Structure 1
Amino acid sequence: MRGRIVVAGLAGLLVSGCAAEAEPVAVPPPAPIAVDVAAASSGGACRLLDFAVIEQVAKVRFDVAAADQRGDTHTCVLRAEREALPELTLTVTDTKIDKTTFGADVVPDKAAKVTGLGQQAYRRTVAAKGGSGPVAEVGWLASEGRLAELSWTGAPGSERSAAEKRTADLIALAKKVDTRAL
């Protein structure tokens, strides 16, 4: 009889425990997952750029890319996620111009000649204006009939001498850009 009473008591406890609703357990939301997306995923001229290569050459990490196309011109703009400047822009345009026309009509006044890049190339800097810093620019006539330009717009307050030094990085980066892949 004592066994039956113990079993009946345990059964009563079990049934009463099941009848009560349990309090919901608060679970913290999962931490956001940071995903490294390649510049090429933006399409257009961004397919010609690689964030890791740019960081290796220019010592600056970009992580946002946007591409656009107007007619035969493909453009890619790179920025750091939380900063508007500096900004790196690549523009590639299909063209039928030759070296003579490039030198006469495309190369800006006071631009310096660059050797070892495409059929013909130049570099220059432009003074700061508006809300941005100085601009470093490298342009070239690629061997496959494409006109390309890399430009670096510095942050406000940066010195033009820093932009001049940046042209060396742009030349090194331009030599890694395969405009045929567009």
Structure 2
Amino acid sequence: MRGRIVGAGVAALLAAGCGAEAEPVAVPPPAPVAADVAAASSGGACRLLDFDVIEQHAGFRFDVAAASETGDSHTCVVRAGRAALPELTLTVTETSIDVATFTADVVPEKAAKVSGLGQRAYQRTTSAKGALGPVEEVGWLAAGGRLATLRYATPPDADKAAAESLTTTLIALAKQLDTATLHP
């Protein structure tokens, strides 16, 4: 008798559990994991940049880097998150020009001379144009046959004085970059 009662109880439990399917449990998707990736991991000219060094010398923080290489030119663009501007662009191109050719053919009109950077260097600030605000640019003829340019593009609502105030910080950052270590 006991066996029949236990058997009936087990059968009742099994029937109750199998008769209705359980509702699926909604599990929220896992939160995206933010990873702090070094600019150098993008390759190209980004190997010369470090987000902490940029912040230390220039006073602004970027956390996204993208590199491009075309022929003898290596470029790195860094931005903050998904924002298109501001952006900092470093371009390094292998070259055989000398200081005289750099001065005559590369240095833009109305550019100011920069001392203590490469063999010869300049800085200039351009006015806002199109979707870009003013752009601060530092260019130099580096040792080892390298032509380098560091540009900071501001948002369209920035004024020219804001871009010009970056001159000293961009020059300090440029002096930290060892373009000779960039290999094709």
State the TM-score bracket (shorter-chain normalisation). Answer: 0.7 to 0.9
Moved more, 33-42 or 133-142: 33-42
> Structure 2: where are the runs of 5+ without partners?
none
CA displacement 1:106-132 (0-9 Å, x = unmatched): 222222222221122111111112221
Displacement after TM superposition at 1:165 (Å): 1.1
Q: Any residues of structure 2 matched to 1:57-136 within 5 Å, and which?
A: 57-136=57-136
User: Which whole-Å CA distance do the structure 1 matches of 2:13 and 2:98 have between them?
Assistant: 90
Q: Which moved more, 1:39-48 or 1:85-94?
A: 39-48
Q: Which residue of 1 aligns with 2:138?
A: 138
| Unmatched 5+ stretches in structure 1 | none
Shift of 1:5: 6.1
- Give the superposition deviation at 1:6: 5.2
CA deviation vs aligned residue, 1:29-78 (integer Å, no higher than 9, x gap): 11122222322222211121122221222232222322222221111122
Query: How is 1:12-23 mapped onto 2 (pairs within 5 angstroms)?
Result: 12-20=11-19, 21-23=21-23
> Number of residue pairs matched?
181
Amino acid at match of 1:19: C
- Structure 1-normalised TM-score? 0.88
77-86 vs 167-176, which moves further = 77-86
TM-score, scaled relative to structure 2? 0.87
- Worse overlay, 75-84 or 123-132: 75-84
Aligned to 1:27: 27
Following the alignment from structure 2 to structure 1, what is the Cα–Cα distance between the partners of residues 22 and 73? 64
Alpha-carbon separation, structure 2, partners of 1:5 and 1:67: 76
